Structure 1
Amino acid sequence: MARNIEIKARIDDFSALYAKIALLADGVPDIIDQDDTFFVCPHGRLKLRTLAGSRGELIFYQRPDKAGPKTSFYALSVTEDPDGLRETLSLAYGTAGRVIKQRTLFRLGQTRLHLDRVSGLGDFLEFEVELDDQQTEAQGIAIAEELLERLQIERQELVDLAYVDLLKLKAHPHSAR
């Protein structure tokens, strides 16, 4: 499975962070509307991401819920029938939640920087340092830590949960994680 190092942080000023990232990035960003449906999955997370038109991606991943840099292992399959696949997976496994967001995607070397506007939650920065087969987790974490510093992201802004979990917590604030 592919690996990356991920960090997520809540942000207060989307425009200011956009400007900082634009100065560092390798080019202009892509704006992507994403509709993620999560399915019940006992050994990680399984989501179907619907993109523009009839494109979709089925993504399985395993990642610890902790603040700061964390390793994510993932596998991705492309589909041209996301609606049909969503229906089939919903019947087979049941849905665990849905996240709708607009993602502004920048690239910086081997890192994908996402400025996410998440419906019902607000604005976030998420970045993923893509590791190649020769790179260690420690090397990826060092890249992530350097980016946190360059972007002046404070530790208290880091988020340990997935968007789908944050939405569930918002809907049911007294439930356990």
Structure 2
Amino acid sequence: MARNIEIKARIDDFSAMYEKIGVLAEGLPDLIDQDDTFFICPHGRLKLRTLAVDRGELIFYQRPDKSGPKPSFYTLTETADPEGLRHTLTLAYGAAGRVIKQRTLFMLGQTRLHLDRVKGLGDYVEFEVMLDEQQTLEQGIAIAEDLLEKLHIDRQELVDQAYVDLLNAKGKRSSSD
């Protein structure tokens, strides 16, 4: 499985973070609309990411729920029929939630920098330091820590959960009010 080091933080000022990342990043960003459906999965997370009517990715990953830089192990399979696959997986496993976001993707060396506008949650920044086979987790963590510093991200803003968990928790709080 591929590996990376991930870190996620809530941001209050999307435009200011865009500017900070834009100064560091290589080239112009890509704007990507993503519709992620998560399925019940006892050994990690399984999500179907719909990128277009005829383009999607089934992604299985394992990552601890903790704030700060954390390792993620994942595998990805492309599909030309995301809606049909969503239907089949929902019947087979049950859906655990759905996350709709607009992602602005910047690249900086081996790091993907995402500015995410998540429907129902707000704005976030996420790094994925993609590790090659020779790199240690500690080397990836050092890169993520350096970016935290360069972007002046306050540790209080770090998030320890996936967007789907944050949305599901928000939904439970709303329904109990």
**TM-score surpassing 0.5?**
yes
TM-score of Structure 1 vs Structure 2, range by shorter chain: over 0.9
Paired residues, what number? 175
2:144 maps to 1:144: yes
- Residue 169 of structure 2: aligned partner: 169
Q: Secondary structure at the match of 2:75?
A: strand
CA contact (8 A) 2:53 2:81 kept: no
Read off the aligned partner of 1:47 and give its amino acid letter. Answer: K
Q: Secondary structure at the match of 2:159?
A: coil
1:116-175 CA distances to partner (integer Å, 9 max, x unpaired)?
A: 000000000001000000000000000000000000001000000000000011111399
1:18-49 CA distances to partner (integer Å, 9 max, x unpaired)?
A: 00100100110000000000000000000000
Measured in 2, the distance between the counterparts of 1:171 and 1:129 equals: 31
Measured in 1, the distance between the counterparts of 2:154 and 2:70 equals: 16
Measured in 1, the distance between the counterparts of 2:63 and 2:174 equals: 24
Measured in 2, the distance between the counterparts of 1:164 and 1:128 equals: 18
Q: Secondary structure at the match of 1:26?
A: coil
TM-score, scaled relative to structure 1: 0.97
2:55 maps to 1:55: yes
Q: Secondary structure at the match of 1:159?
A: coil
1:41-100 CA distances to partner (integer Å, 9 max, x unpaired)?
A: 000000000002310000000000000000000000000000000011011000000000
Change over 3 Å in CA distance of 1:174–1:103 after alignment to 2: closer
- Residue 70 of structure 1: aligned partner: 70
Q: Secondary structure at the match of 1:172?
A: helix
TM-score, scaled relative to structure 2: 0.97
Mapping for residues 97-136 of structure 1, pairs under 5 Å:
97-136=97-136
Read off the aligned partner of 1:74 and give its amino acid letter. Answer: Y
2:45 maps to 1:38: no
- Residue 153 of structure 1: aligned partner: 153
User: How many percent identity over aligned positions?
Assistant: 78
Measured in 2, the distance between the counterparts of 1:15 and 1:93 equals: 39
Q: Secondary structure at the match of 1:34?
A: strand
Q: Secondary structure at the match of 2:92?
A: helix
2:15 maps to 1:15: yes
CA root-mean-square deviation = 1.1
Q: Secondary structure at the match of 1:51?
A: strand
Structure 1, unaligned runs of 5 or more: none
Structure 2, unaligned runs of 5 or more: none
Read off the aligned partner of 1:114 and give its amino acid letter. Answer: H
Q: Secondary structure at the match of 2:52?
A: coil
Measured in 2, the distance between the counterparts of 1:20 and 1:89 equals: 39
